Amino acid sequence: MGLQPWHWAVIGMLLMMGEMFVPSFTMLWFGVAAIITALIAWLMPMGLLSQVVIWLSLSIVACVLWFKLIQPRIKMRTKAGLGGSVIIGEIGMIISPVMTNGVGVVRFSVPKVGAAEWACRTLDGHPIEVGTRVIVTAVMGNELIVIPK
């Protein structure tokens, strides 16, 4: 006789709770597979080998579905529709000087809309030195319009 269904339920819950410490959604799917295995083992008593095969199969299917189908769609969806407005008001530091009517580079401590460094310029064409903290006031194409803070 294999594990009791409640064993699989406890294993599943522990795995899902472990996801709090390993935020990759991997342990979550192993936990879900264990809960489903508990349900199947409760409905149809079977041996340990059958239970482990069911758990492994469900785990593989769940992980493949997550990493190949669901997660890429979520990533695309979160990037889709993000206009430049989400970066307006952010504060960064100039790492390449903005010359008169030229383009410089601003770096943010946390990446904004997928990048930590952005091309930038001033609207009035005034130069900005390296190390100056700036605020993003607008987005023009792929460049940010900044003013010194």
- The verdict on pTM exceeding 0.75 is no
Average pLDDT, the chain: 86
Sorting pLDDT into bands at 50, 70 and 90, what band is 46?
A: very high
3-state secondary structure of 98: strand
- pLDDT at residue 87 in the model: 86
Show the DSSP H helices in the chain as ranges.
Answer: 5-18, 26-43, 48-64, 71-79
Return the higher-pLDDT residue of 6 and 67.
Answer: 6
Long-range contacts made by residues 55-58, C-beta under 8 angstroms, separation at least 24? Answer: 55/8, 58/32, 58/33
- CA dist., res. 12 & res. 36, Å (int): 9
pLDDT in tens, 133-147: 999 998 888 889 999
Say if residue 79's pLDDT is above 60.
Answer: no
Say if residue 80's pLDDT is above 50.
Answer: no
pLDDT in tens, 89-143: 999 999 999 887 789 999 998 888 778 899 999 988 788 999 999 999 988 888 8
